[in-house]
Amino acid sequence: MAREPAIVVEGLVKRYGRFTALDGVSFSVERGSIYGFIGPNGAGKTTALRILATLMLPTEGRAWVAGADLLGSPRDVRRHIGYMPDFFGVYDDLTVWEYLEFYAQANGLPRDRWRRTIADLLELVDLGAKRGDYVEALSRGMKQRLGLARCLVHDPDVLLLDEPASGLDPRARVELREVLRELPRMGKTVLISSHILPELADVSTQVGILHGGRMVASGSVDEIQVQLGTSRVLEVRVLGDAENAARVLEGLPGVGGVDVAEGLVRASFTGGLDGQAAALRALVEAGIEVVSFNAAGGLEELFMALTEEETGE
């Protein structure tokens, strides 16, 4: 029982009148992982998260969150989740500390645990220095981190976060990502949505790409890229003659147009992890001194390929 996935979704359908917002969505999320739920506007992310948060019933399908049946035991589900909606209001005239106290009380946390819990949460989201500031006066990034702290007050197992990074500047996104990375270490499972794949690719163990109410791909970003054959950029920095490294790479499977600039060899690459390992081995066996080796990027291309295919654009 203990190792069953934290979230299991089977054939979820949601119709708003005659419009089908979710069309048979299935996926599962392992405990202690971060699952990136990606899709363009209107894909159905908010609908799916609201259903999992027990705020709305599905038209068809079933789901289990932290082992509890969404339809049969919604109260149990609620005890185990922290839900952060895409828009949430904050109360005027409350300080950061008072705001979290309010939620501690609302969640029935015993009063003698408020102080420790709130202090720990503020440290986690790096708002300790702002404890006496009015919530209204916080930057958007700080408000989002406070929203995350608020979801954690009752120590839920599963966090459902709807586009928490939307509207944040790059620095605030990085700060939020740092907090997110802490959550699996605390044993939490995170389902987080975004319409930007690169934003979640780094932080997620797995991603699911939703488009037009259907899951068009699911797995690790690497697996999806290999499945679809979309290309990434292989970047190799070498000591000595980079042209020589380029010649070795040129003949290998999955390697396309190779360029050399200032000791850096760049090639388009469609292989998987085994292909990367083979390329690195070929370079080393050719006596080339490799300083760094990395396959990256291609995420926008991947996202476009997946979300255009379905509409036939």
- Residue 165 touches ligand ATP, criterion: CB under 6 A: no
Task: Give the interface size with ligand ATP as a residue count (CB under 6 A).
Answer: 13
Question: Quick one: how far is CA 275 from the chain centroid?
Answer: 26
- Residue 87 touches ligand ATP, criterion: CB under 6 A: no
> Quick one: 87 or 185, whose CB is closer to ligand ATP?
87
- Residue 44 touches ligand ATP, criterion: CB under 6 A: yes
Q: What single DSSP character describes residue 134?
A: B
Contact residue for ligand ATP among 195, 221, 254, 267 (CB under 6 A): 195
Strand locations in the chain (E): 7-16, 19-29, 34-38, 60-65, 68-69, 81-84, 158-161, 189-194, 206-211, 214-219, 232-239, 255-261, 264-269, 289-296
* Cα–Cα distance, 70 to 156 (Å, whole number): 16
106: left (phi over 0), alpha (psi -120 to 50) or beta: alpha
Contact residue for ligand ATP among 46, 144, 206, 230 (CB under 6 A): 46
Contact residue for ligand ATP among 16, 167, 229, 289 (CB under 6 A): 16
> Quick one: 44 or 271, whose CB is closer to ligand ATP?
44
Span from 44-52, 201-209, 239-247, 265-273 in contact with ligand ATP (CB under 6 A): 44-52
> Quick one: 87 or 111, whose CB is closer to ligand ATP?
87
Contact residue for ligand ATP among 6, 7, 12, 21 (CB under 6 A): 21
* Cα–Cα distance, 202 to 205 (Å, whole number): 8
Supply 260's token pair: 């050399």
> Quick one: 46 or 270, whose CB is closer to ligand ATP?
46
Concatenating the DSSP letter of every residue in 228-259 gives HT--EEEEEEEES-HHHHHHHHHTSTTEEEEE
> Quick one: 59 or 95, whose CB is closer to ligand ATP?
59
Report how far apart, in Å, the C-alpha atoms of 24 and of each of 44, 51, 52, 68 are: 11, 13, 14, 20
Q: What sign results for the dihedral spanned by CA atoms 199, 202, 205, 210? A: positive
Contact residue for ligand ATP among 18, 19, 89, 251 (CB under 6 A): 19
Contact residue for ligand ATP among 3, 41, 262, 311 (CB under 6 A): 41
158 close to 188: Cβ distance less than 8 angstroms: yes
- Residue 307 touches ligand ATP, criterion: CB under 6 A: no
- Residue 39 touches ligand ATP, criterion: CB under 6 A: yes
Q: Give the footprint of ligand ATP on this chain (CB under 6 A).
A: 16, 19, 21, 39, 41-47, 86, 195
